Structures are given as C-alpha cells and as structure tokens.
Amino acid sequence: MAALTDLTLLEAAGALRAGEVSSVELTRACLDRIRAVDSRVHAFLTVTDDLALAQARAADNWLRQNPGGSAPLVHGIPLAVKDVLCVEGAPATAGSRILEGFRPPYSATSVSRLLTSGAVLVGKTNTDEFAMGSSTENSAYGVTHNPWSLDRVPGGSSGGSTAAVSARFCYAALGTDTGGSVRQPAGFCGVSGLKTSYGRVSRYGLIAFGSSLDTVGAIARSVADLEPVFRTMAGHDPLDATSMQSPVPEFELNGKGIRGLRIGVPKEYFIPGLQSEVESAVRQAITALEELGAETREISLPHTDLALPVYYLIAPAEASANLARFDGVRYGPRRGPGSYPEDYFVTRGELFGPEVKRRIMLGTYALSAGYYDTYYGQAQKVRTLIKGDFETAFESVDLIACPVTPTTAFGIGAHGDDPLSMYLEDVFTLPANLAGIPALSFPVGFDSARLPIGMQLMAPHLAEDRLLQAAHAYQTATAWHREAPPL
C-alpha cells in the first residue's frame, strides 16, 4: 500500500472498511506529516491532535461494533476546516487578532454534519482575515505558502484548506467561497474545489463576510473525493433562513462520459492579459471534453466586465454591517482608555488588519446617506443583469467552461502595494457568486514553471451533480489531479 497520506479519500475509505488500516492510523499519519512539513507551508492555525485521535478511536470502535455496517464514506477520514467555520471548543479566529482566543460554544452545521457522520477533524486552517483576500497573505497569523512553490501564494481566502489538501495533510477540507475563495486557491494548488449553490449548504456557524454571497464549499484531491463531502454537508437547515428546502439529488459518479452535454465557452473570459499557458491548457481541456462526447459552443455573458466593480460595492457593504459586532463589547478584547467611543475606535483600529479596514470603509461609504442609491442600489441592479446573463445562457447550454484565474500562482508580496491588482485575481470567479450558482475548479495542466493550472465549470442553480459528473468524466480520462507537489 502507498504511504497513507498519499491515498485519496476514497482509497482511504475503502482500506478502512476492508480492515487494512484503522482511522487512528490514518489520523496519526496525517498528524505526523503536519508536524514534519507544515512549518514550511503554514496551512494550519490550530492542530487538534487530541480531539482528532479521540474521534478516530470512536470511528474505529463503531466499525468494530458494526461489521458490515453502512457507514458514510467520510467516516473515520481526517479532514480540516477553514478557521471562519465554528467548531465547538476549538479556536475560531477568522484569521484576525480581534477573535484571538475565541472558542465558540457550537459548531457550524456543515461541520457538525461531517463530524456526526464520523469524520475526524485534524485542525483549523489559515485564512485571509475574515476571508477578505485572494492570497492568504492577509491573515494576522502569517502567510500560507503554496506547496508547489513555497515562494508563491496558495490563493485565498481558503488558502490554508487548499494547501493542506495539496500537501497531503488531510484527505479533504472545508472552505468558504464569497468571490472565488475555494476555486481560485484550488486552481493555484492543483486540487479540486467546489463552490456550492447559494442556499445549498447551511451558512449557520460561518463567521459572515458578505451574507448574500458567502457559500460553504469543499476541497479535495479529486472530484470523486469531493462528492461524499458535498453530499454529507448539503441539505436544508432550519437554523439558516437562506437554506434551500430542495433535496440534494441522488446521483452516482460513473466516469462514463458526457455525450450530448452542451458546454458554453464565454468569449468574455478569454481576454487580453490572460496568461498564454493558462488559455492553452483550458482550451485543451475543453477539447478533451469534446472528445468525451460533449458539444461546445461559444456564448456571451455580456455584463461580465461589470462583475468586479459590482462585487466590490456589494461585498464591502455587507462586510461593514457584519463586522460591526466586533467592537470589544460583543466580540473581541477591548482596547482603549476605558470610555466610549474611544474604546470602540481603538479596539477596531488596533485589532483589524489593513484589508479589513479598507473594505469596511468602502462598504460604509457605499451605504451612507446620499450614496446608497448611487452605489449600492445601482450595484444590486447590475447584479440582476449578471444573474440574467447566466439564466439566458443556461437556456441553450448545460454547463459553462472557462479559466479559474488569469494567471498561475503569483509570488508572495507581488500585489502587496496594489489592492486593485489583487482584486483582479478574482475576475473570473466573482460572477458565479453574484448569480448564486455552483462552480467547480479542477486541475488541467501546468505552466513552464511547473505551477498548476485550473479550469472552471459553472452550472445552473442547485445543479452540483451536473458539475461533478462532467469533471469526474474528465478526471477519469486524464491524470492531472494525481500529480503531487514536490514537498
């Protein structure tokens, strides 16, 4: 058998059920690799050694007491969780000093459903502060490094979760995607990342950034490994008012091809500035889908160029409201001379990072009297047009294929003095969040520097099964997802 950490989630689950390995052995292998390698990657903010081993022993006991029992595929499998999702008793910092030491008394629904199904939590992963960033450089607790090249970013804001999966620290991880924060780092790190439909997975227990945009997603080494994680955490939750009551469809990944599937290729996503190697790899992947039986056609999403300004009005506006609670009274330690409002300003001024402050100021301005209709109100109208573009496109195609990012992973510090250039990294991922539709990133090649290249598929609302089937068919015929970083 290969090294335990080199197994895929499905391989580990099969070995566990066949009695070839125990959950404790899988968990110890992951913890040992984290101890040996994560000092160079910094994927984790908290490693939950004792909790993980206790959960692993419980998973093994259940399997012994229920021989031949029907355990979920995630049962006994070590996973990681982005540190914006609450886990009862474990630290939840959201990558910010203002939440340092906070231990929530409850777990996010997405996490609790996995733990109830027997999954093992090995730790909480690094993130841009309050999920605001595209590189995981904005964490108050240090930068995460890309396992493929340690001087490059892993992407963000779910860079810690993505790096953890890529570096073989765990078999899958949860992330969140507000404007591309699962898909972009998945593309940079050579793994598969699923952004779920808005309302498909409960947001209860997620430390909110943009409430109309936030989604909980999953990262794994392959699409086949994503499927059991998605199925376990998805579904209606009465604790989340935005949770959809639509049942998760029954489907089985078969890899038998996608004959007759109609795939649209939007001309607005192949633009000047797109790295030539990225365009070449994505177009070759589209050709591979055609060879598997799909039909492709060029389509237009005419309001794509407006997605970036629309997002950076709506998301900061919602962030300014959501982050008002972090004031040293309701949440966070208190700083200042001991009087209001001085304490309020000193606390937020000292404990929020520069990117969070920037977005709070942008959002507060956009919502202020005299500017609400001019900025936020107009952005919401254009958001409706972007959503309409997708609805029109999906009348004639089943999926949309395009790049995840304009380039491969950039160097740490490359955009440090230019916030706008950093925001442009999400230009291909933002529209799916504005429209509320599911999207998937998966590896389709490498550039000349041996950095991964990802492709994105988008589907109509609640059609995650269509995404997973198509990408799984591609991965059945190719081997990019089996490549491992040189750690």
Quickly count helices (H) and strands (E) in the chain: 15, 11
Residue 146: predicted pLDDT: 98
Nearest-angstrom CA–CA distance, 475 and 429: 21
Would 279 be classed as within a structural domain? no
pLDDT tens readout for residues 234-251: 999 999 999 999 999 888
When divided into structural domains, the chain yields a total of: 1
Contact present, 163 and 193 (Cβ < 8 Å): no
Q: What six digits make up the tokens of 163?
A: 């790096």
CA distances (Å), origin 399, targets 223, 361, 381: 16, 37, 25
- Residues facing 195 on adjacent strands: 439
pLDDT tens readout for residues 19-77: 999 999 999 999 999 999 999 999 999 999 999 999 999 999 999 999 877 899 999 99
Average pLDDT, the chain: 96
22, 23, 82, 124: which is the annotated catalytic residue? Answer: 82
Q: Give the long-range contacts of residues 12-17, CB within 8 A, separation 24 or more.
A: 12/77, 12/171, 13/73, 13/74, 13/75, 13/76, 13/77, 13/228, 16/63, 16/75, 16/76, 16/77, 17/63, 17/71
157, 166, 202, 243: which is the annotated catalytic residue? Answer: 157
Residue 2: predicted pLDDT: 67
Would 123 be classed as within a structural domain? yes
Mean pLDDT, residues 83-103: 96
Q: Give the long-range contacts of residues 329-337, CB within 8 A, separation 24 or more.
A: 331/98, 331/99, 331/102, 332/98, 332/99, 332/102, 333/98, 333/100, 333/101
Helix H segments across 271-418? 276-291, 307-322, 342-351, 354-367, 378-393
Mean pLDDT, residues 388-400: 98
Q: Exposure string (b/e) for 167-184, b if CB count within 10 Å is 16 or more?
A: bbbbbbbbbbbbbbbbbb
> What is the residue range of 64's domain?
4-260+397-482
CA distances (Å), origin 364, targets 40, 320, 324, 325: 38, 6, 10, 14
Mean pLDDT, residues 111-126: 98
pLDDT tens readout for residues 203-219: 999 999 999 999 999 99
H or E element at residue 462: none
pLDDT confidence band for 89 (50 / 70 / 90)? very high
CATH number at residue 217: 3.90.1300.10
The yes-or-no answer on residue 280 being catalytic is: no
Would 377 be classed as within a structural domain? no
φ, ψ (nearest 5 deg) of residue 265: -120, 105
pLDDT at 338 over 90: no
The better pLDDT of the pair 434, 331 is held by 434
The sheet carrying 44-47 orders its strands as 44-47, 120-125, 78-82, 172-177, 215-220, 192-195, 439-446, 452-458, 399-403, 262-266, 295-299
Residue 173: predicted pLDDT: 99
Mean pLDDT, residues 470-476: 97
Contact present, 173 and 30 (Cβ < 8 Å): no
Would 451 be classed as within a structural domain? yes
Nearest-angstrom CA–CA distance, 159 and 182: 8
Nearest-angstrom CA–CA distance, 457 and 265: 10
Nearest-angstrom CA–CA distance, 262 and 374: 39
The yes-or-no answer on residue 82 being catalytic is: yes
pLDDT at 137 over 90: yes
Residue 333: predicted pLDDT: 87
Mean pLDDT, residues 465-485: 97
pLDDT at 1 over 80: no
Supply the pTM of this predicted model. 0.97
Close Cβ partners of 387 (under 8 Å, ≥ 6 residues apart): 434, 435, 436
22, 181, 192, 320: which is the annotated catalytic residue? Answer: 181
Residue 350: predicted pLDDT: 93
Percent of the chain clearing pLDDT 70 (strictly above): 100
Nearest-angstrom CA–CA distance, 266 and 400: 7
Would 277 be classed as within a structural domain? no
Would 271 be classed as within a structural domain? no
pLDDT confidence band for 332 (50 / 70 / 90)? confident
The yes-or-no answer on residue 396 being catalytic is: no
Residue 339: predicted pLDDT: 83
Among 108, 161, 180, 133, which Cα is nearest to 435's?
180
Close Cβ partners of 67 (under 8 Å, ≥ 6 residues apart): none
Q: What six digits make up the tokens of 297?
A: 């056609």
Omega prior to 309 cis, within 30 of 0? no
Residue 161: predicted pLDDT: 98
pLDDT at 334 over 90: no
Q: Provide the 10 A C-beta neighbour count for residue 278.
A: 24
Question: Directed axis angle between helix 464-477 and helix 276-291, to 10°?
Answer: 90
pLDDT at 419 over 90: no
pLDDT confidence band for 345 (50 / 70 / 90)? confident
Residue 316 buriedness (CB in 10 A; 0-12 / 13-18 / 19+): buried
Would 176 be classed as within a structural domain? yes
Would 382 be classed as within a structural domain? no
